[in-house]
Structure 1
Amino acid sequence: MLSLRQARTTAAAAAALPVETLTLEAAIGRTLARDVAAAFEIPHASTSAMDGWAVRGPGPWRIVPTSPEHPGEPLPALGPGEAVAVLTGSVIPGDVDSVLRTEHAHSAADLPADSPTADDRSGQGLLSAQPDTPDTQPGRNIRPAGVEAQLGDRLLSAGSIITPVRAALLAVAGTDEVDVVRRAGVALVLTGSEVITSGRPDPGQVRDVFGVALPDMLREAGAEVIAQERIHDDAQQMDEALAAASSASRPADLIIITGGTAHSRADHLRPALHRAGAATLVDSVEMRPGHPVVLARLPRGTYVLGLPGNPLAGFAALAAVGHPLLAALHGEAQAEAAEMSAAIAGEDFTGPRSGERLVPARQTFSGILAAGHDRAHMMRGIAEADVFAVVPAGGVGAGERVDVLPVPGGGAVRGVNARRRTP
């Protein structure tokens, strides 16, 4: 049996999947396979930060009669003591000293006839700055070329998730395509002779929860569900399901089995893995719920993740072991720490006698609060929870630091893993 940290470290040791090249739009939600550097300076030209007047030398300035229709329109070169109207984003010639905001300037036409700056008769008109404006300082309201990035600067590192704003950064840098890690293809095998998919269960029956929730949870974690099968608690069906998923025309990178992970006569996963020649990587974790989670690798390289059949236990095991495994398969940096963060306990959390306890909890301004209904078979607590509070032996007191994992498909995941795009 492994500790939670050991299990996550083991799962995070999986090698990343192959690389493919995608457009920026298609790559959102994927993991970068290689660093991306700036192909040119950002911005690639000096531009105006304001609508107003580009000026050269001390004022007042003679107005050059031109009126740009759009920021990309080239501006004329300025002589000493000249000004030209500019728009935000206009390319600034190298001889310009600063940009005077529209609201900080006035032209001769705006002044009384006896004003000392209103006697220009050249036909060009004069422009003056309001007293005490800082806009006449050299470089004022000009965005210099390369102020954000120089040629060759690393913009994003391999292992970074391409979020929408990161895709926008790469677009600014002129990137059209990126190399990303392929999505993990997941085959779901849902077990349980007592499980029904619709209607009211009779005594001895239960409704399916994993078939409803897992596909979307896995998509949010960046994976692609490529097959889904339901089997009874039967040894032969388990053998056949493992063989089919790992040898299909598109073999699964990961097979997720729900249920069958314990040691009763109705639990067939461990014997089936042994018969298939699998290497067991994680055989139970010292945590509650989710203790009987199993992680193995088949001879052909396909991973098998066995989730306990109780709903809360299964989802806790997915967060604890499944997420770092998927992060590693997707090439994410620091896969061992995938999704784990720290928070402040808003109340006392009782710890287990040993190992760790995963408690469905809500994030509030007062700190992390238990959501209740936290037995392995229950759903109400996790349905209201954002995170699992990872409570060590000895517990955590109010105001103390506590590690948290996002609940798969919960509110916290919507904020973090919604970076993923469904296939």
Structure 2
Amino acid sequence: MSTDAAVTADPQAAPVTLAWTEARARAYDAGRAAAGEPVEVPLAEADGQTLAEPLTTLTDLPAFPTSSVDGWAVRGAGPWRIVGRVLAGGTPPPLTEDGTTVEIATGAMVPAGATGVLRVEESTRTADGLVTGTLRATPEWRSPGEEAYAGEELLPAGTPVDPGVIGLAASCGYDTLRVRRAPRAALIVFGDELLTAGRPGAGRVRDALGPAVPGWLRRYGCVCTAADVVGPVADTLDAHVAALRQALEQADLVCTTGGTMHGPVDHLHPALAELGAAYVVNTVAVRPGFPMLLARVTGADGRTRFVAGLPGNPQSAIVAIVSLVAPLLAGLRGRSMPELPRATLAEPVPGRGEYTHLALVRVDPVQRTAHPVRHVGSAMLRGLAQADGFAVIAPGTRGEPGNRVPVVPLPLLPDERVQRGPR
């Protein structure tokens, strides 16, 4: 079956369990196929978006010879007679006579005819108003095209836009950028047993995913606010269908928690069938994380939206996010499939038979060693709160100390990585 294949969401059909690597590829391909049309946005609104086309220079960089120091633009041998002054932003007249100079500021345009720039701290003004000094062997100005020539590609399409990219674009003369916008996500929490406040007890458990999942989605580049979280939704088919319909009106991606099995109150599969959804992925051979799904729904406007069914167990839900949601979002944003870094296992990690095992680990950023953490049951979050990512143990294997294995990094912000550090 090809990676873009999908089947109608039939709740009675036996699901096809996909290998973890194939499931990731299908999710990514589905996202790429459904990526929205690029839009033109002002530079001030481009942060966090994705370049939809290569960033090329509109002029040479720099566009004109630019002094890199404060000093004197001189022509010929010294001493030099002062004939003017040029500041940044001005266009100076050319130097036409040997033995002449103009005072020049850093960033100012070097006048035509200048043969060198003398640093102010290495110059002397004589009593009769001349300038003396010794020029350095290397030029003290930046030549046109030194950084890039007009039309040169600086960054490819698919590059994440950050302040560095915005600054570069501005220096090239751009006022707007053509980008793919961040998708909008919503979260629907299923489960009559869930509490949204207070302490768990008497058969009720605290909802840990409603407050947490939006933060994960935002770190993967979604727009997801508190207003985009709905639930807990009643454990009825009608309530599930209504909640999904409403969320899909606004969101590009709707994540749901729980209800991915086929129990008496698991209504997600029948609700997807009611909506005419088609499975992109329906169950993945991964532990923890079973069962998870990804389906697509075509709206009345013809646009494709997605539903990601996350398991109800909290750690399993995060495994579903890193396994299916992360590659889907990369595709929707026009970015490349996330490449997985590798680390050396410091301790043994058990395999899970024919399933891929995603094992929570802390990664020493210097030694690039992965250390398994404790408290990693599918319903536990203590280990997740201390981890940097998941070590990938391939089906039919176990992780031995010294093995180099892929690691799925958790999408921590840079300051969060610094604060956690090695333990």
Same fold (TM over 0.5): yes
Paired residue for 1:148?
147
- The structure with the larger Rg is 1
**Cα gap change, 1:75 to 1:61, in 2 (>3 Å):** farther
Query: Do structure 1's residue 388 and structure 2's residue 407 form an aligned pair?
Result: no
2:132 pairs with 127, 131, 135, which one? 127
What TM-score do the two structures reach when normalised by structure 1? Answer: 0.85
For 1:355-394, list aligned pairs within 5 A. Answer: 355-364=355-364, 365-366=366-367, 367-393=369-395, 394=397
**Cα gap change, 1:238 to 1:413, in 2 (>3 Å):** farther
Paired residue for 2:271?
272
**Cα gap change, 1:412 to 1:376, in 2 (>3 Å):** farther
Query: Do structure 1's residue 53 and structure 2's residue 53 form an aligned pair?
Result: no
Q: Give the SS at the match of 1:359.
A: strand
Output one character per residue of 1:190-221: Cα deviation in whole Å (capped at 9) or x when no partner: 01111101111113211111111122222222
**Cα gap change, 1:397 to 1:60, in 2 (>3 Å):** farther
Output one character per residue of 1:1-20: Cα deviation in whole Å (capped at 9) or x when no partner: 11111111111112212332
Q: Give the SS at the match of 2:101.
A: strand
For 1:69-218, list aligned pairs within 5 A. Answer: 70-78=87-95, 79-108=97-126, 123-129=128-134, 135-137=136-138, 140-218=139-217
Output one character per residue of 1:337-361: Cα deviation in whole Å (capped at 9) or x when no partner: 3263333334433332223211222
Task: Report the CA distance between 1:186 and its aligned residue.
Answer: 2.0
**Cα gap change, 1:395 to 1:100, in 2 (>3 Å):** farther
Q: Give the SS at the match of 1:236.
A: helix
Query: Do structure 1's residue 219 and structure 2's residue 218 form an aligned pair?
Result: yes
Paired residue for 1:229?
230
Deviates more, 1:317-326 or 1:390-399: 390-399
**Cα gap change, 1:82 to 1:348, in 2 (>3 Å):** farther
Q: Any conservation in 1 of the 2:296–2:306 contact (CA below 8 Å)?
A: yes
1:33 partner amino acid: A
**Cα gap change, 1:347 to 1:98, in 2 (>3 Å):** farther
1:71 partner amino acid: A
1:342 partner amino acid: R
| Alignment partners' CA distance in 1, 2:131 and 2:254 | 76
Paired residue for 2:6?
none
Structure 1: any 5+ residue segments left out of the alignment?
A: 110-122, 417-423
1:206 partner amino acid: V
Q: How many residues align?
A: 388
Query: Do structure 1's residue 317 and structure 2's residue 317 form an aligned pair?
Result: no
Structure 2: any 5+ residue segments left out of the alignment?
A: 1-16, 419-423
Paired residue for 2:52?
33
**Cα gap change, 1:73 to 1:298, in 2 (>3 Å):** closer
Task: Report the CA distance between 1:415 and its aligned residue.
Answer: 6.4
Q: Any conservation in 1 of the 2:55–2:156 contact (CA below 8 Å)?
A: yes
**Cα gap change, 1:80 to 1:161, in 2 (>3 Å):** same
2:343 partner amino acid: A
| Alignment partners' CA distance in 2, 1:325 and 1:17 | 13
1:340 partner amino acid: L
Q: Give the SS at the match of 1:175.
A: coil
Q: Any conservation in 2 of the 1:107–1:128 contact (CA below 8 Å)?
A: no
Q: Any conservation in 2 of the 1:50–1:141 contact (CA below 8 Å)?
A: yes
**Cα gap change, 1:273 to 1:312, in 2 (>3 Å):** same
| Alignment partners' CA distance in 2, 1:295 and 1:146 | 48
Query: Do structure 1's residue 10 and structure 2's residue 26 form an aligned pair?
Result: yes
| Alignment partners' CA distance in 1, 2:91 and 2:37 | 46
**Cα gap change, 1:85 to 1:256, in 2 (>3 Å):** same
Output one character per residue of 1:34-75: Cα deviation in whole Å (capped at 9) or x when no partner: 223211111111111122222222x3331415455x423444
Q: Any conservation in 1 of the 2:187–2:230 contact (CA below 8 Å)?
A: yes
Output one character per residue of 1:382-417: Cα deviation in whole Å (capped at 9) or x when no partner: 111122222224233444422122224x4569569x
Paired residue for 1:117?
none
Paired residue for 1:24?
43
Paired residue for 2:306?
303
What TM-score do the two structures reach when normalised by structure 2? Answer: 0.85
**Cα gap change, 1:209 to 1:413, in 2 (>3 Å):** farther
| Alignment partners' CA distance in 2, 1:274 and 1:354 | 30
| Alignment partners' CA distance in 2, 1:305 and 1:173 | 40
Query: Do structure 1's residue 351 and structure 2's residue 351 form an aligned pair?
Result: yes
1:391 partner amino acid: I
Deviates more, 1:162-171 or 1:391-400: 391-400
| Alignment partners' CA distance in 2, 1:65 and 1:349 | 76
